Amino acid sequence: MRRLLSGNEAIAEGALAAGCNFFAGYPITPSSEIMHYMARELPKRGGVFIQAEDELAAVNMVIGASLAGAKAMTATSGPGFSLMQEGIGYAVMVEAPIIVVNVMRVGPATGQATKPAQGDIMQARWGRHGDQYLVSLAPSTPQESFELTIEAFNIAEELRVPVMLLIDEFIAHGREIVVSKRIAAKYRRTVMGEGEEPFNSMNPKIAPPLPELGSGKYLLITGSTHDGRGYRDVHNFETHFNLVRRLKDKVVLNLDKLFMYEVHGDEEPDVLFISYGSTARSAKEAVNILRSRGVKAKLIRLKTLWPIDIELIKRLGGNPRAVIVPEQNLGQLIIDVERIYNPFEHRVMGYNKVGGGIPIYSSELVEEALKVLSCGG
């Protein structure tokens, strides 16, 4: 079906298409439309919608529902995302497949409510204490918001890991054409069989199975270090080390499957843009303009912000004279890009602009690229 939808509506549609049947949330602009949509649509489909008393309750309800067998999601924005960190860390530890949508707005704190930004991408990755690995995705159109939401549910279910879906207010409130498709196969978590344990997996790439509610099997859940059966063990080195290493491995060993991207432009570029989300759309147009002026240019757009395949980016990017990383923050993804392109050997520069709801325009990126290239080096 072809419709004119906002990014928020597209996410809600994607969640429903993926089989989401539980949503708990606390309203916050610019994410509230997701909640409105789910409040209206979920009860019609036999799902459950709860307006929680706050974000902490919302994320914990989602974890509980997920472990009880639901496909569960919540949505918030920066201030609510900060409140949810404790729950997200817990979800990593108990391996609850949950989806947390963060419609990024200008921060820190209340910031400029509710202007767009891309300032939470490092928080999504590292915002909690302890070693923890999860997946974060960043769509750049309402159409992709629909598609990556489905993908997020599949990843969460398959790897028993929280998936962060990061969009900014431009995409969330911007309306564009979305073609929704029926999803043939929805990935579902593995159900625990005889002799299997809910927190143990022989293959580090594969997440352990979960017992089905009502099957008579026990599921012990604790945020403390636990063994394969779920029993607390807060003394032994091996138990903890094996657990956190397995939690890391199931994400990083599936890098080839999790790292999604789009490449646009010349094979061997002189100027390479690396970007994501709404900003990547200006970068894409900038690449087109530069190429029409005879400059070899390329864009690598990341759909997955974590985990990142830095070797693949290095291979795709070639040997550019300049690397520009446009972001609606003061420079976050560029930290990763500098792991790929050594700033002592390459010209690696951010193009940063945030606040007031003013996007990064393609003309600015073209100007920046031409300026850098004309400087030599």
Give residues in contact with other proteins (CB under 8 A): 4, 29, 112-115, 170, 173-177, 278, 281-282, 284-285, 288, 356-363
CA atoms of 348 and 343, how far apart (whole Å): 6
135-137 and 175-179 strand pairing? unpaired
Tokens 């609606």 belong to which residue? 328
For other proteins, the closer CB: 4 or 375: 4
- Distance CA(139)–CA(333), nearest Å, equals 15
Question: Do 40 and 64 form a contact (C-beta atoms < 8 A)?
Answer: no
Q: How large is the C-alpha radius of gyration of the chain?
A: 21
Burial tier of 53 (Cβ tally within 10 Å: 0-12, 13-18, 19+): exposed
Question: Residue 140 is which amino acid?
Answer: S
Q: Which is nearer to other proteins, 164 or 280 (CB)?
A: 280
Min separation Cβ 323 and other proteins, Å: 20
CB-nearer residue toward other proteins: 241 or 361: 361
Whose Cβ is closer to other proteins: residue 65's or residue 360's?
360
Q: 176 or 249, CB closer to other proteins? A: 176
Tell me the closest approach of the beta carbon of residue 144 to other proteins, in angstroms. Answer: 12
In the bound complex, what is the minimum distance in angstroms from residue 151's beta carbon to other proteins?
21
Q: How near is the Cβ of 149 to other proteins at its closest, in Å? A: 20
> Tokens in use for 197?
């344990």
Residue 153 CB, nearest distance to other proteins (Å)?
26
The smaller minimum CB distance to other proteins, of residues 242 and 288, is found at 288
How far apart are the C-alpha atoms of 305 and 101, rounded to whole Å? 14
How far is residue 72's CA from residue 49's CA, in Å, rounded to a whole number?
10
Q: Are 294 and 342 in contact (CB under 8 A)?
A: no
Question: In terms of C-beta density within 10 A (0-12 exposed, 13-18 middle, 19 or more buried), how is residue 140 classed?
Answer: buried
CB of 369 to other proteins, least distance (A): 15
